[in-house]
Structure 1
Amino acid sequence: MSREAVTNLTNAFRFSEYKRTPLTAFVTIDWSLTDGWSEVNHQERQSRFIAKMNRWLRRNNIVPTYIWTLEAVRKRSVTDLLTKHRVHMHLAVHVPKKLFAEFIINFNSFVPGHTGNQHITYFERDQGDDTPKFYFHPNQRLGGILYRLKGVDHTLTFYGPSGPENFAAHLGIQHRGMQGVIRTKRAGVSHSLGFRQRLRAGWDEETTPDGLAALLQPDGKNGTPHPHDLPFSMAA
């Protein structure tokens, strides 16, 4: 993932907090497990998925608000024990608490080629808990976004006051292993969180490493919200 992509995702995430449409549902789709999937038809399938999800959101009077990233991680096949790449999508989407359970129930129907395999989609959970997690607090959502930024190119550097610095480390993005090759767009945001919408809203776009790092800092203690989010602090 490029520096430009990380810049877009980071500003979009903090903008979602600012405009009170926080990203409360975090889910992963393993496209490699869907029926008939290939790198050739991936873009078409993902577009159909997003269109179906957006229709459901709009029917429920929710403006589609989300961030997504693609990853290709080397995993071992259960059947042949051969190492291969699995293409999967990390999605963070705004869903109000009152519709969270219904969103989960309907989610698999949005995914083209879903076979009923329970491993195709996975809603984030707390360790030891089988219940999908509603990301209520801003710092929970920040942790989820930092995880989704791990696909950044960890060789990226910039010149700081003391010389070259690692871009990802400066932003607090952990290196969790090398990513496989993605031959299509690797990350994106909904129209509602895009650069033009941010510009129209008067959003103070951050582009420098220090500015981006500031956007990825947690909320203060005792419930003090992040300076970019005032007066917002909790999910609706």
Structure 2
Amino acid sequence: SVSLVGYTNAGKSTLFNTLTHAGAFAADQLFATLDTTSRKLWLPEAAMDDPHAHSRSLPDEAPTLRYPEGAQYPPWGGLAAGRQIVLSDTVGFITRLPHSLISAFHATLEETIQADLLLHVVDSASPNRERQIVEVEKVLKEIGTEQVPQFQVMNKVDLTDAEPRVARDEYGKIAAVWLSAKTGDGVELLRSALAEFARDQQHETRVLAAQEAVLSQNYVETNIDGLE
């Protein structure tokens, strides 16, 4: 699963709606999102099928994505493709978030703790964005998510001079994606980035035919591409 986290009013719910067409409430106000909202999101096949996707750079412009022949858009509005993930929208953080408030939103924050990936949504147009990033990181550490993989989503590029793009760290891993959830510019870059991350998490496991219970549990907890 993937959880959206970030400072309040960073645009998490807008991004969530853009990706999933979920219709989650989005407003320029404190704690516009109070409860966790989760939807399935289909990922494009382009990065998923490319065995070298993890070692190459994504283009600055949105790529041409491939989807299965005859694929249909599922009812929740996500893209129909070869793999799906669960995307969750969570409560926005604020400066010096009180311990009592963390307890009150425990159910929401629990989604973050159990996530496979965190998308740290940042208001790139805010003059206080660096301070807000630090505050969010403090809260994430406090609730025990410092070990969860994360990359930043630099939102609201439509309000800046920045262009949609993908940045990588010294190991070639995705570090940040610049986009505008409002206009949709750069959103396909994020979809491809998620697909690449999902591919990097794939593992081949051999299970004996007699271990039917193990195989059944894998079907519940993972995506199985095929059996031999």
TM superposition score normalised by structure 2: 0.28
More helix by share: 1
Q: Relative contact order (C-alpha < 8 Å, sep 6+): which is higher?
A: 1
TM superposition score normalised by structure 1: 0.27
